[in-house]
């Protein structure tokens, strides 16, 4: 691979990122409001909030591309606030960009602060003042997972946009498009595995797809779970079903096999088991007991409990629910 190739040319998440607002899916309300900004050539400061991989940064970039056209790179700056989150960055990089006039016929520039909820409190206070002073020359877009971590003075200065997790059908359409463009064969169970792994996060889906495709031209269920470091949910369901049937020994052996085979920690197993419990075909009372057991096990591991002992205790409690002895 040539060292001259940039990482953006290599990563499929960047290569296949939507370039205009029309290409963004499953965020109809957000896109409609942003298109109005493009039409009016005016916009307020914005706060993009929602789960990771739902298109927040992409929407900001697409908005800037639709607004500025060929002058896009002269009027758009993106900073990752989780890396550059101190007050010095606000006083230097952000202020220097914000106070200069825009190039082209749009009277303002756009500065995106990605993962803004990781900014320090002092940096957010400095940013609040900067947003006030340079409104005439720059509009700020703050992208975050938890907007409640943004201080109230900044929230009140921004228009809030909520991004929803992507629907499975939208993710499937994008994955199929990428596979067609890259000449990658993907099986039906491979597609379902990607949907399961991503859980509404398209960026995670595409990264996993690219990693799985590197193993060979055919992307199937086995390849997806192998590169993602996740257990096949069918195998976890066997553990739960055996334990609920009161068969402690078999459930324990299956769990140990999964831990060794996939090289996962106890917390990884607990998080995935929780998801399987929710979808398990049992009565609600049993589900409540199972969720309580998983929560207690996670707490004990986080507090320093040994993974093996706590997981065995968890299986034992589940077996007792199922009538094991």
pLDDT digits (tens, 9 = 90+) for 269-285: 898 899 888 888 888 88
Is 233-321 in CATH node 1.20.272.10?
yes
Query: Helix crossing, 56-68 with 28-40: angle to 10°?
Result: 20
Tell me the per-residue pLDDT of 25-58, one tens digit each, with 9 for 90 and over. Answer: 888 899 999 999 999 999 999 999 999 989 999 9
Q: Which helix (H) or strand (E) holds 113?
A: strand 109-114
Q: What is the pLDDT of residue 5?
A: 43
Model confidence band, residue 143 (pLDDT cutoffs 50, 70, 90): very high
Confidence of residue 16 (pLDDT cuts 50, 70, 90): confident
Contacts of 116 (CB under 8 A, 6+ apart): 81, 142, 143, 144, 150
Domain span(s) for CATH 1.10.8.60 in the chain: 168-228
The CATH number fitting domain 168-228, selected from 1.10.150.20, 3.20.20.70, 1.10.8.60, 1.10.630.10: 1.10.8.60
pLDDT in tens, 164-192: 988 999 999 999 999 999 889 999 999 99
Q: Report helix, strand or coil for 193.
A: helix
Delimit the CATH 1.20.272.10 region(s) of the chain: 233-321
Provide the pLDDT confidence category of residue 323 given band limits of 50, 70 and 90.
low
- Can you give the pTM of this predicted structure? 0.79
Q: Are 194 and 164 in contact (CB under 8 A)?
A: no
Cα separation, 231 vs 196, whole angstroms: 11
Mean pLDDT (the chain) is 87
Domain span(s) for CATH 3.40.50.300 in the chain: 7-162
The domain defined by 7-162 folds into Rossmann fold (3.40.50)
């Amino acid at each position: 691979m040539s060292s001259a190739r940039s990482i953006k040319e290599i990563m499929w998440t960047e290569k296949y990122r939507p370039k205009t607002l029309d290409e963004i899916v499953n965020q109809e309300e957000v896109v409609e409001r942003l298109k109005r900004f493009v039409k009016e050539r005016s916009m307020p400061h914005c706060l993009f909030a929602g789960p990771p991989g739902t298109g927040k940064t992409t929407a900001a970039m697409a908005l800037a591309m639709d607004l500025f056209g060929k002058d896009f790179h002269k009027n758009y700056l993106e900073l990752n606030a989780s890396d550059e989150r101190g007050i010095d960055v606000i006083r230097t990089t952000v202020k220097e960009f914000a106070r200069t006039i825009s190039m082209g016929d749009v009277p303002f520039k756009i500065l995106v602060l990605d993962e803004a909820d990781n900014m320090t409190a002092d940096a957010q206070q400095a940013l609040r003042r900067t947003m006030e002073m340079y409104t005439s020359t720059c509009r700020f877009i703050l992208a975050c997972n938890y907007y409640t971590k943004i201080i109230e003075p900044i929230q009140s200065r921004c228009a809030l946009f909520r991004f929803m997790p992507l629907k499975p059908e939208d993710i499937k359409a994008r994955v199929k498009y990428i596979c067609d463009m890259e000449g990658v064969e993907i099986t039906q169970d491979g597609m379902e595995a990607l949907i399961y792994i991503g859980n509404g996060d398209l960026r995670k889906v595409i990264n996993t797809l690219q990693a799985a495709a590197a193993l060979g031209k055919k992307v199937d269920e086995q390849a997806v779970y192998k590169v993602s470091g996740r257990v096949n949910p069918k195998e976890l369901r066997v553990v739960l079903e055996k334990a609920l049937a009161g068969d402690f020994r078999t459930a324990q052996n299956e769990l140990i096999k999964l831990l060794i085979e996939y090289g996962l920690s106890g917390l990884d197993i607990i998080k995935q088991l929780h998801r399987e419990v929710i979808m398990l075909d049992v009565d609600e009372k049993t589900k409540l007991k199972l969720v309580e057991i998983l929560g207690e096990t996670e707490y004990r591991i986080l507090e320093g409990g040994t993974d093996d002992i706590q997981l065995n205790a968890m299986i034992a409690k589940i077996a007792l629910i199922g009538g094991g002895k």
